[in-house]
Structure formats: C-alpha cells, structure tokens
Chains A and B, each alone.
Chain A
Amino acid sequence: MTASAIAIPRARRPRNGRLPWGSPAIYFGALVVVALMLAPILYIIIGGFRANSQITADPSGMPDPWVTKNYAGVLSSTTFWGEVANSTVAAVVTTIGVVALGLMASYVLARYQFKARGLLYALFAAGLMFPMTVAITPLYIVVRNLGLMNSLAGIILPQIAFALPTTIIILVPFLRAIPDEIEEAASIDGASRLGFFWRMVVPLALPGVITVGILAFIASWNSYILPLFILNNEDSFTLPLGVQAFASQYSVDTAKVLAFTSLSMIPALIFFSIFERRIVGGLTGAVKG
C-alpha cells in the first residue's frame, strides 16, 4: 500500500465491514427483476397447492383454500421416489466418476513432462467442441451396442465422458499452481509421486474439485436429451423424463403436474442454495479458466 492509496479513502466499504444501503431506486429496480425471475417458479410451487377447479376458474389466482392433496399424492407415489432414486444414483456416480478420472488425468497433464502431453491436453480440450446434442444419435448407437439401454450405466458413462473436458480445463491450472517446492520437499521426505498425489495434491486441489463436482452433479440432475434417448423403460426414468411423462399422462390434472414439477426441482434448489457460492464461482471460473 502506497501513501497515495491510503490518501484516497475507500468510502465504499465502511470500517465496520458492512455494505451501505443502496438508493431506493436501485432496490426497486432489483426487486422488479427478482420478481420477474421468481414469479414463474412461485407459480409452479404455489399452483401445486390449488385444486384444478380453482385453476380453471382463475388461472392466475392464489390457492383458496390451500390444498395439500396434490403434493401428498406425489409424495406417496412410488413412481416419484423411484425417479428420485434413479436421478440421485446417476448424479452421484457421475460426480464421483468425473472427479476421480478428471483429477487423475489432470494431475498427469499438469505435472508430468512427456512428449504427448500437449496433444493429450488438446484432445480433451477439443471435447468442448462436441456438445452432447451433436453426438447424441451415434452415442445412442454406441450405448445400444454395449447393451446398456435402459440402464443407468448407459447415461452415467457418457455423462462422465462429456464432463471430462470442462473438468480437466478447470483442474489443470489448479494442480499446476501447486509449487514445485512442495513436491520436492515431499520427495525428500520419501514420498513417491503417487504418495504426493494422495497426500498433497488431492487436499490442495479441493476447491477446484468441489467446483467440478457440483457442475457435474447439476448437469446430470438436469440432463434431458441423453436419458430421452437411452431410457425408454419407465422404471429407469430419471426425474426430468418423469416430469415430462407425468405432464403428458395427467395433462388434464394441471395441479398435480405442478406439484410433481415443483417437487422435482426442490433437490436442485436445495443443492444450489448450499453450494451457491461455489456454483457461481465455478461457472465464472469454468469460463475464465
């Protein structure tokens, strides 16, 4: 800090560390935006508390009286819980797979010196050019030939594969930033490269690992086109497919569809609110590298 920097007081952050209140106009603007962003979501959640007759009579009204029958019906259906279980298994296994494989590959790309390294990195990075949408038709054929149709493995393996490029691009800088001195010190203390990997690299890369893990989890939880192609059997449906199937099956029962839809987004919302900082940071990090 130079003297001139001290001479200009940072009026923006008062000494007690709390931010100042903004002007009412700004809060009003922000309020309008937030209302626009949340209104559709609230419509889904609140709509689930109405009866169909209420919705027909006044499509944009509030519940009167509040009806819990729709939510209770969904929560007591085995279909819903089966789909929750499928989505959870798919997302958890995908996340573990992406983190494990991504971390191992990134470690090599970041800290080993070998001829094909640049080529390997470029290959994984090029994967960003192949979104799932482009590859879905042939991917379906590959999965079918492997006999993985209607099984969660059939969506987990491609999801891991398609999440690897982002993962590697986020993790490699993390791993490269670990100072050589630490590795040398570990080596002097008798740690092998792999020992160093487990004891030093994994803990030090934890912030990056959490970020890529969350990205993989949410992508899997929300994934639609891949399950649409691979899972044709109702028992194997994940939540997105379940929502769609439910919406067409009960197309006249709007209230129940709304209840089902809102329950299916609650896990993602909870997950988001817990890891909100990480997700927001991770997405900007993913783009800024």
Chain B
Amino acid sequence: MNVRTSSPAPRRAPADDVRAGDELSSPALRRAGDAPAPVARRSRRDWRKVLEIAVLVGPALVIFLGFVIFPVVMAGYYGFFKWKGYGPPTDFIGLQNYVTIFQDPTFQEALWHNLVIVVMSLVLQGPIALLLALLLNRPMRGQSLIRVLIFVPYVIAEVVVGTGWSLMLQSDGALNGLLDKVGLGAFTQDWLSNPDLAIWTLLGIITWKYIGFAVILFLAGLQGIPQELTEAAQIDGASYWQIQRRITLPLLGPTLRIWAFLSIIGSLQLFDLVYIIWGQYIASTAGTSTMATYMVANGRNAGNYGYGNAVAVVLFLISLVVALVYQRFVLRRDTAGALTERSEP
C-alpha cells in the first residue's frame, strides 16, 4: 500500500540532540576547558539511547522479520524446488514451477477471474458507493444510524457471510423461494453452480460485503470538502447535481483513487469468500476460482509446497507490479495524496 512512504522527513531537530549540542558548544563549558567530561557524558547518553531503541524496537522487529519478511523471502527460495514440504528441499528444478503455472489453463482461468473481479468491483462498487455517500452526506436525522447499518456486513467474518449466502443461494434456498413467492419464479437460477452466472453471484456478494467500506471512506472524504465552496456555488445558482459534478467529484479525487487502489489489491488477493462458498474443487468448475484459491488447492492441499510457493511468488509479483504502476501513474497526481503524504501529521 504505502510503497512511496520512505523516510519520514525530519520535521524538527530532536530535542535530545539539540540539548546535547547546546551543551557542547556552550561557551561556559568550553571556557571551563573540561572537554572530556561532556564527551564522556555524551557517549554514555548515546549508549543509553541505542539501548532504548533496541529494547523498544527489538521485539516488534524480530516478530515482523520472522513472520512477514522471512516467509516471503523463503517463498522465493522454495519456489525453485519440487518439494513436498518435508525435510529441506533438495530437488532443484529452476524455473520449471513457473513454466507449469503459466501453462496451466486452470491458472489462466483463475487469473482471468481475478481480472474480472478487479474491474467489476470498481465498476459496481464505485458509482453505487458514491451515490450512497452523497445521499448520506445530506444532513438529516438518523444519519449516523444508517451509516452504521450499511457498514455492518463489512465487520462480519467472511466465513459467516459465505455460509449464510451459500445457504440462501442454493437452488432450493431462500432467494429462489422468495422469487417464486413474489411471482418472479421465471428468474430462479442455480446461482452458485451455473458457470455463466456464478462469477456474477460472487460479484454481488463482494459488493454487498465491501461497499460499506467504500461508503465510509467516501463520507470521510466528503467531510473534508469545505462547505463554503458548495455554498458559494449555490449562491451563484448552481444546481445540486452541478455542484456534485464540478466541485465534489474533483475534490473527492484523492479519496476515490485510494479506494480504487485498496479495492484492486483486495480483488487480486481474494480468497476467503470463494473458498468458503465454492470450496476448492467446485470453484474452478463454477468459474469463480482465483489465484489465491488456486495456490491453496494446488500447493498445500495437493502437498506440493514448492509449487504452492511459486504461485505465491507469482501472486505477489502481479500485485506488486499493479501497485507500483498504480502508484506511479495514478496516485502520483495527488500531491497531497491521502495515503502517502499525510502519514505525517
């Protein structure tokens, strides 16, 4: 996410160093001629500082390196082996795993599904969430309650969402029952296993689950737009929609672009919902498999850990390239980009 956040610029001279410097350069001390004393004191203080830094950062750094960085590096290493996961990997096969991945039609399908999910998530959620945010941004009673209720699906576990929806969408489930009841029996479908339909079902569930997050983000962005601008436009006779089109939308740009970024990365990594609703075998026949479910099915579940790690590397590199390209060409326009620059207070 935060690729561009490199070093936070030193915003001020740190209090400690200023004080230390003052001591050294202070004429009183220099006149006294006891140069060694401050130097000794300073180095003692340096040691203390180093110790404090080590004690405070150490635990976080160890856990982070051990459980985030090390596994990712090891994935790159294991990916070159044919390895069943027991003992050290010995059967070095070079790039063979990667060749297999890209020649496997199942992976190509999964990649295609990921692309569809990336694009359609943006297309479906973006406009709907924007309309909802505009609607909820109008001052009215009950506003905060409505916001909370829209946000509820986002907080519920993927497993709960997946289990509930898969029960509802079975061919003799509640949705088809409801359609029958209201006289729309012609629209009953096999929502989950019809390969022409399943990915749209998945997109519907994704929209339902994650749109609350988009709405909340957009509302936060809308609140950052000064009211004086819209009031001035109102006085100049602009209509509501003109104001939204010419003032709100452009000013909401940074928020929209950050949301799109998060949505794209999330779509590329999608695993839980698909795996829970469709399981590892049905997902590919129903046309909802993703790169991540492919990785789990052909890596861990098949016992091919070398191969699974290679898929993880591919998944990571695709996400990384997308993230970097997006940062370079889209987020760069936001000189005061919400994500990158404002990590400074």
**Chain A residues near B (Cβ < 8 Å):** 5, 8, 10, 12-13, 18-22, 26-27, 29-30, 33-34, 36-38, 40-41, 43-44, 47, 56, 58-61, 101-102, 104-105, 107-109, 111-114, 117-131, 133-142, 157-158, 160-162, 164-165, 168-169, 172-174, 176-177, 180, 183-184, 187, 193-194, 218, 221-222, 224-225, 229, 239-241, 243-244, 247, 254, 257-258, 261, 264-265, 268-269, 272-273, 276, 279-280, 283-284, 287-289
Contact = CB atoms under 8 A, between A and B. Distances in A.
Interface size band for B: 35 or more
Contacts of B174: 43, 47, 59-60
B222 to A, nearest CB: 11
A281 to B, nearest CB: 8
Nearest to B9: A118
Contacts of B136: 30
B60 interface: yes
A142 B67 contact: yes
Contacts of B104: none
Q: Is the interface of B mostly helix, strand, loop or mixed?
A: helix
Contact of B53 (A18, A44, A108): A108
Nearest to B132: A33
A30 B208 contact: no
B56 A224 contact: no
6 contacts: A112-B14, A113-B10, A125-B3, A222-B156, A240-B159, A276-B148
Nearest to B167: A254
B159 A162 contact: no
Given A59-B173, A283-B216, A287-B262, A133 B148 contact: no
A265 B53 CA distance: 41
B248 to A, nearest CB: 15
A135 B300 contact: no
Interface in B124-161: 132, 135-136, 138-143, 146-153, 155-161
B2 A114 contact: no
Given A34-B150, A135-B312, A272-B152, A122 B6 contact: yes
Contacts of B271: 133, 225
Interface stretch (B33-41, B92-100, B281-289, B335-343): B335-343
Interface string B6-22: 11101111111100000
Given A20-B140, A222-B156, 14 more contacts: A41-B156, A41-B164, A108-B53, A121-B6, A124-B60, A135-B68, A137-B295, A137-B305, A142-B74, A158-B67, A160-B63, A164-B60, A177-B345, A288-B338
